[in-house]
């Protein structure tokens, strides 16, 4: 079971993809504009991100650039109507792990998501240490001087 964020402004398509992935046992969150997608990626953790290119407020490619520049390692699948090879090269060059053009077959999408989930996210530790504070990004736990801190999700995100 993975936590997946879909950033897609086509509500019908997002609903369909969400139902497919939920049926496969995943937890799916959806937002329909780039600004909200950008905020969610700054304050929450996902196992896979499905990102459209053309979005209201902030374009998907700019969300991807921002996410990668801040050290984001979560696999990103660009799901977009942009089919030109130049667009694919740009998306992959900016840090997308996979690229799927619309229209697509749902079986291919789920196969690609499964493939992304099999890959190791990073070769570095999921622990961040600063002084006597240690946080584990994967388990969303924090310790100070070895004592577990009981933090709300927003507090954890700010600490991270």
pLDDT 10s digits, 19-78: 999 998 899 999 999 999 999 999 899 999 999 999 999 999 999 999 998 888 899 999
Indicate left, alpha or beta for 71 from its phi (over 0: left) and psi (-120 to 50: alpha): left
Tally of CA atoms within 13 A in the half-sphere of 39 that contains its CB: 9
Calculate mean pLDDT across residues 108-126: 77
> The whole model's pTM is what?
0.74
pLDDT at residue 86 greater than cutoff 70: yes
**What's the pLDDT score for residue 153?**
76
128-132-138 Cα angle (round to 5): 25
Distance, CA of 127 to CA of 17 (rounded, Å): 32
Instruction: Record the tokens describing residue 53, joined without a space.
Output: 């290119």
Decide which of 62 and 140 is more confident.
62
User: What is the percent of the chain with per-residue pLDDT over 90, rounded to a whole number?
Assistant: 61
User: What is the percent of the chain with per-residue pLDDT over 70, rounded to a whole number?
Assistant: 94
Calculate mean pLDDT across residues 4-27: 93
Helix (H, G, I), strand (E, B), or coil: what is residue 19? Answer: helix
């Amino acid at each position: 079971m993975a936590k997946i964020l879909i950033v897609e402004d086509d509500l019908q398509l997002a609903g369909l993809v969400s139902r497919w992935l939920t049926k496969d046992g995943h937890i799916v969150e959806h937002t329909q504009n780039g600004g909200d997608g950008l905020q969610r990626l700054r304050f929450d953790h996902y196992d896979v991100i499905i990102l459209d290119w053309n979005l209201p407020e902030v374009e998907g490619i700019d969300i991807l650039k921002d996410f990668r520049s801040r050290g984001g390692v979560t696999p990103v699948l660009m799901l977009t109507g942009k089919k030109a090879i130049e667009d694919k090269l740009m998306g992959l060059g900016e840090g997308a792990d996979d690229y799927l053009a619309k229209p697509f077959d749902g079986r291919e999408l789920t196969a690609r998501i499964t493939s992304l989930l099999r890959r190791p996210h990073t070769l570095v530790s999921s622990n961040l240490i600063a002084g006597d504070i240690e946080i584990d990004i994967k388990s969303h736990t924090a310790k100070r001087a070895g004592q577990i801190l009981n933090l709300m999700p927003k507090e954890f995100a700010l600490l991270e």
